[in-house]
Structure 1
Amino acid sequence: MKKIQIKIPVLLPQVASEKDTCVERLIKALEAKDGLERVHVADEEANGAPQLCFHYDPDKISIDRIQSIAERAGAEITKKYGHLLIKLSGIRHTRHARQIENKLLDIEGVLEASVTAAGMVRLEFDKNETNFDFIAKKLEKEDLEIEESSTNEGGLNKPAKSSENLEQKESKQQFSEKDKHAKDSESYAGGEEHAHEHGGILGKNTELIFAIISGALLGIGFGLSFVESIPEWVSLALYIGAYFFGGYFTAKEAIETVAKGGFEIDFLMLVAAIGAAILGEWAEGALLLFLFSLGHALEHYAMNKARKSIAALSDLAPKTALLKKDGLTEEVGIEKLSIGDTIVVRPNSKISADGVVVKGESSVNQAPITGESVPVDKVPVEDTAKDYSKVDDIKAENRVFSGTINGNNTMEIKVIKEARDSTLSRLVKLVNEAQTQKSPTQLLTDKFERYFVPSVLILVVTLLFAFLVIDEPFSASFYRAMAVLVAASPCALAISTPSAVLSGVARAAKSGVLIKGGRPLEDLGVITALAFDKTGTLTEGKPKLTQVVPLGDIQEEALLKIAVAVENLSEHPLAKAVVRDGKKMLEGSEIPEAFNLEAVLGKGIKASLEGDTIYIGNLDLYEGLNDMKPSEEIVEKVRDLEGGGNTTMLLRKNEEYIGIIALMDTPREAAKATLSELKKIGIKRMIMLTGDNQKVADAVAKEIGLTDAWGSLLPEEKVEAIKKLKEKESKVAMVGDGVNDAPAMANSTVGIAMGAAGSDVALETADIALMADKLETLPFAIGLSRKAKAIIKQNLWVSLGIVALLIPATIFGFANIGVAVVIHEGSTLLVVFNALRLLAYKK
């Protein structure tokens, strides 16, 4: 049995994650082929891309045949299944979103659908059974308008006026719509103050104004009812006016829903209000409609605050750029920029594209992307002609991101990503997708509602016939049933979790933390253990010269000059670190020139300096050199330094050992303080997983305050380490760079990638991505998650508690319709505004 691995993006170009259902379909299709024993997602990745691992019998099938079968199966799946992310306007509330979700799932060919109250729709469909145009028409019939749409390959695009067929549209990663779908002044990116579907003759706040007018008429009518000299019909007329203004939007929604065969709370509220009028309780009916209308208007307004925080991300990128071509500068739309183009960024203006600095020096405010509060200094790259679009490890001082703000100097930027692929575009798309991912609590409440709502309706129908059993008129039974109907409506429950998730994701994005949905938002708050990769996560990821130890009569400065002179000839990363840090320590002293460099692979180097032969290397270099081996005392010093986590170099001049140089991948400055803060907020175990030897791991762990350090681990052993941790701690988060650590992150409860800005792989693979390469962001993310979890719990207690109290209170007559609607609407607003507190969360 042999194995071969193939990158998933090669087989399924439209699939962004190995967790996509299309990957499962591909695996099932391939495992049915003769000769393929097993197909699965590989633990390790190739250049950051997830891979499929094929276990095959070489006697039955060849590698070429596997490649051919896999590519053909992938092409068939890509041709058959479509993925869509759509931004809609017209979604009124959480319950309406759920209705639309169910209607989309009813469309033949739609396999998966998720709709949020914020208007984001995620769809997976069978292209042989349906297409975007058909889905769009269905949405149009629901009085919804498509503002933006995309496939998995591109960012959100505004609908264009075009008559291209579906295949042409998909090849461009955007979909056209009818003219009426194109919005001129209003768009998702603009972040309207209030959803237009609630607008009317008085503008976007018509519903709120109508509710206030209703309340005023109700109040005046109620006050005049106590004045004996004023006829009763005056108060009645005012109540009827209150009915009109308070019930206008409720009736509109109810009629639209019923006309489409739906059955919603708006209709039930309308029935309750009409019932109150029939019973002569005009004041109570008017109060019900006034409060229900006011509650809806305020709910829309409050939820829009969270939507605007996310919509504001889209506004970060400027719409145009100053393109420099043939010595001339012209203003063009950012969509016209190509990789390799040079753009000019003027002082105090936004940067239009992801790129590298090729001319000029400035400081850049990266807060919109990474959350960093201090501007970052930028300098030009050394090789301006190089193609940096394929380079993964571009230095922070050379790289800039679309949407960040230039300081006081003009810079020229070489574009390395098209507008739709920029870090900002990907961030916006992933945040929008995050809204459609339901949290465990939301899935639980959805399940609860499926059983609760029919139960309430059965109870209400039963209470309607209470007059047959109890000695009371039908009017009393009807009134009680309507009161129970109002009391039991699960409006607060429906919005309690989505509002908190939306607010939490929006608040995190504002501080440079991408949380991909409700599940990681909730899970991060309950983790008890954190596993860290070492290199580049807890440490700087680059070696530093830590100690210079002279042996014999030589002075430290003279030893350092010899080391810098010889290492200056080498390209090895450790040699570069010695030269860089050594020159700083020598402060401009003259360095002699060395010649005739000879490298001994994996052991060290040899060179000539001022007539002497200089050797620099590890102990193994001198084992096979000649009989002049280092003394036991020197060996012991080297071993002591290595035991402290250092990488050592022993220097020899001719036959004499003259000194030891020690380097170390030093811990980040913020590591110790951050781990201390994590300990204070209740993280019990903090474990470092590293491929370095155990001595190095222990030294770093002791210095920064880790509880455990597990060294000498291969990538697959890190996965086993995470599984072992999960057995003991149940909830474990893995923190790494999202590339080499992807398998371990995938097996943890929550995978957290650091320095995700500029790393497509980290953005795609992690559950939570810290855009800045800063460890100190971690306590904020965990704190926000805990706050979100607490608010979700509070909202559940409030929403379920109110229903549990109100139902018996209305059944036994302790509360009338007026009291029920006040408490019902009050609890709905309470959970929404409670969730909005997350937008103001601070560490």
Structure 2
Amino acid sequence: MQKVQLDLPIVLPDLLDEQDACIQLLLADLNDKKGIVEAHIKEQVPLQLCVHYEPALISLAKVEEIAHKSGTKITQRYQHLLIRVKKVRHQRHARQLEHKLTAIPGVMTAMISVPGTLRLEWDSEQIGEQELRQKVKQLGLRIAPATKPQYHPSPTPVQHHHEADDDHDHSGINFLGEHTELYLAIGSGIAWLSGFILSFLEGMPPGLLIGLFSVGILCGGYFTLLEAIGAIRQGKFEIDFLMLVAAAGAAALGKWGEAALLLFLFSLGHALEHYAMNRARKSISALADLAPPVALVRRDGKTVEVPIEDLEVGAIIVVKPNSKIAADGIIIKGFSSVNQAPITGESVPVDKRPIEHPENDIVLENVPAEHRAFAGTINGSSVLEIKVLRATHDSTLARLITLVKEAETQKSPTQLFADKFERYYVPVVLGVVVLLLFAFLVIDETFADSFYRAMAVLIAASPCALAISTPSAVLAGVARAARQGVLIKGGRPLEDLGNLTAVAFDKTGTLTEGRPRLTHALPYENAAREDLLVAAAAVEALSDHPLAKAIVEGVKKELGDREIPPAEQLEALIARGVKAQMNNETVHIGNRRLLEEITGAPVPQALDQQMKDLEDGGHTAMIIHRGDHYLGIIAVMDTARPEAKATLAALKKIGIRRMIMLTGDNQQVAEAVAAEIGITDPLGSLLPEDKVAAIERLKAEEGKVAMVGDGVNDAPAMAKSTVGIAMGAAGSDVALETADIALMADKLDNLPFAIALSRKAKQIIKQNLVISLGMVVVLVPLTVMGIAEIGPAVIAHEGSTLVVVLNALRLLGFNNK
């Protein structure tokens, strides 16, 4: 596995030495990240941050992002860029390009995905961006507009461009349109099949059969020849060249039919490989077309059309019915339902309404979902006016596009293994083939026999299926997840998620609503329930405490239009409760201690028992006393999400044995919530560092564990987990950037889907590896011993490539229901 060592000059205001707290925080954050082997400080002036990392698993952009969040500035010596490129022909070609680019002085990392995303990291003191772009073009690639990671201090606006012609020219000539290669492969197959059938008829002229097989060879070998010539020009003898040699050798020996069959199946495999990769690419790049090219902006009482790149924060845009929303912002006018499926994967449109006081300073992440709008979502049947709070290049959609493109370039552990295996495997195969060419010198056979067997072994041992087995499945899995509103950042988390048997959850905001609700109102003796609720709401309406707000909202919901008389003279009683005046009577709301103080007697046993029962259940209970008598008890609680119980049941059904809840609430509350929704291991009274320790302990016990949270205060625990999963990432910068996997909607429902998809992807990857390697293991000995000839070897080997590609494509239609 490739590793890069990076010496980054870092800048901190008033930095004293390497023991500075900010530096220690930065090192801790970096060393927690998957893909970083080691991060340490070199004692130089300025201080040097030395990072050893694996670029296939983590990017320089991510390293800079972590430093930026720690308050550390990294000098601009090291640059990084995501470039959309065309003419990446297949997985082997992508690897060749990576090796050529990393050989350029100053280039530290080059990762290319077959769909056409190139991630470059380079030392700007050795090579400039324009020179590097020129080098990329010299390798035969065509550059489309690019975007830098969106947390960059000077981000470049996202370029929305049409990439339909990406498919047209992977080899340069497409005289029959974008499917030329497929048409030629089919033509080759028809010619071969015609010759094969006619060969069984008596009296067929040999010239006619050779002519048909020659047509099959020419059609099947056209693109193969172009690719072989391109590789030879770069000093490489790739599989395409070897297949041509094998076909030419078979034809020279009079095996015209076998030569035509070889090139037909080889070209068909290539055509299907390109089709599979393009399906995945189109599914991912369709994100870029979600946002409309222009927006209607309200200016001076008029509506004008403006390109979305020119939208400014604070602008008011008008969104007509059934049209796309152009920017992230808040609803300031209009009521409508918005289809958020393109961003969050939610199947049901979300009702939107205006926010109160839109003129205030508003942080979009803190705005409730009913007031918030995302670029790329689709308005319903009513006109909306939206105040833009994020520039186009910084919208959720723009960041999602960037992260998905970067995810394309991240390799999975299985893919890294396959790449490494192939590097050693191919030279060994070529060595064996060369030896077999001279077998006639050792054993009693002709040179023609030795040559024929060597060609058969070459075909049988070629790693075509191995090269495509993992990346095709990873790309299809990432694309399918993105369509469901699940962002999987590369192959590693896709594979790791499928291995889990334990998942840890933050409680507040993840398993629960994240805000308290009124759950009980229990009148005492002859008191009326309505009197209890009115007294509670009147007093708590004067308070700004979160529990007070929950009580007022709960009472209003139950009493409807009933008018609540005003209370006055609210007084907070430290550690006991509150009191206020209502209708010339004093109302006290608080704990047992408060009521014992004002009555001079213990709380009645019945009330005390009710309080205890509620507290045992995890509720926060308060006694209400008016005048000289008790009205009863009210209780509030951060209630479980409606989907939490069903989600945990679904996780259990798919084999998650342990579901752990981590919370700062006391153990009693943790156990009460756990019992309600089905948590197996409730862990309460935890500080943030305790959550990290809990994750480390769980990893030791289970091997691998996922952490599900909101990506803010859960970030340290998520970093320690095998897979960090963020909830509600569509509304949170931190959640979107922190996690390995981001559930874009603020719902748990997609978690079972993500795990099931990962397991399916892992299953398909294993199947593909067994098919590709198994075919080699079986065929090579058979061809070496002369048992299998070129024909069966071609059918078995190239057939396995087709099976691998089609097997990977199944992930695009995955559904766990």
| SS at 1:745 equivalent | helix
What residue is the counterpart of 2:180 in the other structure? 206
Tell me, yes or no, if structure 1 residue 615 matches structure 2 residue 588.
yes
What residue is the counterpart of 1:173 in the other structure? 156
What residue is the counterpart of 2:275 in the other structure? 301
Name the CA distance, whole Å, in 1 between partners of 2:123 and 2:528: 76
CA, structure 1 residues 553+222, in 2 after alignment: closer, same or farther (shift >3 Å)?
A: closer
1:207-242 per-residue CA deviation (whole Å, 9 max, x = no partner) reads 222223333333444455566656433333333333
What residue is the counterpart of 1:719 in the other structure? 692
Tell me, yes or no, if structure 1 residue 748 matches structure 2 residue 761.
no
| SS at 1:344 equivalent | strand
1:595-653 per-residue CA deviation (whole Å, 9 max, x = no partner) reads 11122355422211111111212345457668456355544432331111101122222
| SS at 1:150 equivalent | coil
Name the CA distance, whole Å, in 2 between partners of 1:132 and 1:38: 23
Equivalent in 769, 787, 812 of residue 742 of structure 2: 769
What residue is the counterpart of 1:286 in the other structure? 260
Q: Is the 8 A contact 1:350 1:402 kept in 2?
A: yes
Higher mean C-alpha displacement, 672-681 vs 739-748: 672-681
Tell me, yes or no, if structure 1 residue 784 matches structure 2 residue 757.
yes
Name the CA distance, whole Å, in 2 between partners of 1:776 and 1:654: 49
What residue is the counterpart of 2:6 in the other structure? none
1:544-591 per-residue CA deviation (whole Å, 9 max, x = no partner) reads 111112224321111111111111111211111111111121232221
What residue is the counterpart of 1:344 in the other structure? 318
Name the CA distance, whole Å, in 2 between partners of 1:528 and 1:250: 45
Equivalent in 570, 591, 609 of residue 543 of structure 2: 570
CA, structure 1 residues 625+392, in 2 after alignment: closer, same or farther (shift >3 Å)?
A: farther
What residue is the counterpart of 1:255 in the other structure? 229
* TM-score, structure 2 as length reference: 0.91
Tell me, yes or no, if structure 1 residue 484 matches structure 2 residue 457.
yes
Letter in 1 for 2:334: G
1:81-96 to 2 correspondence within 5 Å? 81-96=78-93
Name the CA distance, whole Å, in 2 between partners of 1:547 and 1:227: 89
1:422-481 per-residue CA deviation (whole Å, 9 max, x = no partner) reads 111111111111111111111111111121111111110110110000111111111111
Name the CA distance, whole Å, in 1 between partners of 2:20 and 2:611: 43
What residue is the counterpart of 1:161 in the other structure? none
* TM-score, structure 1 as length reference: 0.88
| SS at 1:148 equivalent | coil
Q: Is the 8 A contact 2:78 2:121 kept in 1?
A: yes
1:96-148 per-residue CA deviation (whole Å, 9 max, x = no partner) reads 11101111111111112211212112221111111222222222122111113
Give the Å deviation of 1:493. Answer: 0.7
Tell me, yes or no, if structure 1 residue 28 matches structure 2 residue 45.
no
Tell me, yes or no, if structure 1 residue 596 matches structure 2 residue 593.
no
What residue is the counterpart of 1:425 in the other structure? 398
Give the Å deviation of 1:154. Answer: 6.4
Name the CA distance, whole Å, in 2 between partners of 1:825 and 1:39: 43
Tell me, yes or no, if structure 1 residue 642 matches structure 2 residue 615.
yes
1:484-563 to 2 correspondence within 5 Å? 484-563=457-536
Name the CA distance, whole Å, in 1 between partners of 2:610 and 2:193: 89
Name the CA distance, whole Å, in 1 between partners of 2:36 and 2:657: 38
| SS at 1:757 equivalent | helix
Tell me, yes or no, if structure 1 residue 217 matches structure 2 residue 191.
yes
| SS at 1:691 equivalent | coil
Q: Is the 8 A contact 2:706 2:722 kept in 1?
A: yes
CA, structure 1 residues 35+431, in 2 after alignment: closer, same or farther (shift >3 Å)?
A: closer
CA, structure 1 residues 212+2, in 2 after alignment: closer, same or farther (shift >3 Å)?
A: closer
Name the CA distance, whole Å, in 2 between partners of 1:125 and 1:545: 57
CA, structure 1 residues 626+455, in 2 after alignment: closer, same or farther (shift >3 Å)?
A: same
1:281-430 to 2 correspondence within 5 Å? 281-388=255-362, 390-430=363-403
What residue is the counterpart of 1:122 in the other structure? 119
Give the Å deviation of 1:282. Answer: 2.3
Q: Is the 8 A contact 1:149 1:174 kept in 2?
A: no
CA, structure 1 residues 655+540, in 2 after alignment: closer, same or farther (shift >3 Å)?
A: same
Letter in 2 for 1:271: V
Name the CA distance, whole Å, in 1 between partners of 2:234 and 2:188: 28
Q: Is the 8 A contact 1:9 1:50 kept in 2?
A: no
Give the Å deviation of 1:244. Answer: 2.3
CA, structure 1 residues 50+596, in 2 after alignment: closer, same or farther (shift >3 Å)?
A: farther
CA, structure 1 residues 317+362, in 2 after alignment: closer, same or farther (shift >3 Å)?
A: same
| SS at 2:788 equivalent | coil
Higher mean C-alpha displacement, 240-249 vs 524-533: 240-249
Q: Is the 8 A contact 1:356 1:400 kept in 2?
A: yes
Q: Is the 8 A contact 1:191 1:312 kept in 2?
A: no
Name the CA distance, whole Å, in 1 between partners of 2:749 and 2:609: 38
What residue is the counterpart of 2:789 in the other structure? 816
Q: Is the 8 A contact 1:362 1:410 kept in 2?
A: yes
Q: Is the 8 A contact 1:3 1:53 kept in 2?
A: no
Q: Is the 8 A contact 1:628 1:655 kept in 2?
A: no
Name the CA distance, whole Å, in 2 between partners of 1:192 and 1:219: 32
CA, structure 1 residues 238+637, in 2 after alignment: closer, same or farther (shift >3 Å)?
A: closer
What residue is the counterpart of 1:841 in the other structure? 814
Structure 2: 5+ residue runs without aligned partners? 1-16, 53-64
Letter in 1 for 2:621: T
Letter in 1 for 2:307: G
What residue is the counterpart of 1:698 in the other structure? 671
What residue is the counterpart of 1:59 in the other structure? none
Q: Is the 8 A contact 2:364 2:389 kept in 1?
A: no
Q: CA RMSD in A?
A: 3.0
CA, structure 1 residues 138+50, in 2 after alignment: closer, same or farther (shift >3 Å)?
A: closer
CA, structure 1 residues 716+36, in 2 after alignment: closer, same or farther (shift >3 Å)?
A: farther
Tell me, yes or no, if structure 1 residue 439 matches structure 2 residue 422.
no
Equivalent in 769, 774, 779 of residue 796 of structure 1: 769
CA, structure 1 residues 222+10, in 2 after alignment: closer, same or farther (shift >3 Å)?
A: closer
CA, structure 1 residues 213+341, in 2 after alignment: closer, same or farther (shift >3 Å)?
A: same
Name the CA distance, whole Å, in 2 between partners of 1:298 and 1:600: 74
Give the Å deviation of 1:287. Answer: 2.0
1:574-589 to 2 correspondence within 5 Å? 574-589=547-562
Letter in 1 for 2:235: G
Tell me, yes or no, if structure 1 residue 146 matches structure 2 residue 159.
no
Name the CA distance, whole Å, in 1 between partners of 2:561 and 2:226: 80
Higher mean C-alpha displacement, 613-622 vs 801-810: 613-622
1:50-96 per-residue CA deviation (whole Å, 9 max, x = no partner) reads 57999xxxxxxxxxxxxxxx86xx343xx210011111110111111
What residue is the counterpart of 2:780 in the other structure? 807
Name the CA distance, whole Å, in 2 between partners of 1:97 and 1:264: 13
Q: Paired residues, what number? A: 787
| SS at 2:387 equivalent | strand
Name the CA distance, whole Å, in 1 between partners of 2:356 and 2:68: 38
Name the CA distance, whole Å, in 2 between partners of 1:142 and 1:674: 49
Name the CA distance, whole Å, in 2 between partners of 1:554 and 1:218: 93
CA, structure 1 residues 396+800, in 2 after alignment: closer, same or farther (shift >3 Å)?
A: same
Name the CA distance, whole Å, in 1 between partners of 2:83 and 2:565: 65
Name the CA distance, whole Å, in 1 between partners of 2:221 and 2:51: 59
| SS at 1:96 equivalent | helix
Give the Å deviation of 1:22. Answer: 10
Equivalent in 133, 136, 161 of residue 136 of structure 1: 133
CA, structure 1 residues 601+361, in 2 after alignment: closer, same or farther (shift >3 Å)?
A: farther
Name the CA distance, whole Å, in 2 between partners of 1:171 and 1:687: 41
Name the CA distance, whole Å, in 2 between partners of 1:766 and 1:381: 30
Name the CA distance, whole Å, in 1 between partners of 2:576 and 2:118: 58
Name the CA distance, whole Å, in 1 between partners of 2:201 and 2:658: 72
Name the CA distance, whole Å, in 2 between partners of 1:523 and 1:227: 56
What residue is the counterpart of 1:99 in the other structure? 96
Q: Percent identity?
A: 58
Higher mean C-alpha displacement, 474-483 vs 602-611: 602-611
Q: Is the 8 A contact 2:32 2:719 kept in 1?
A: no
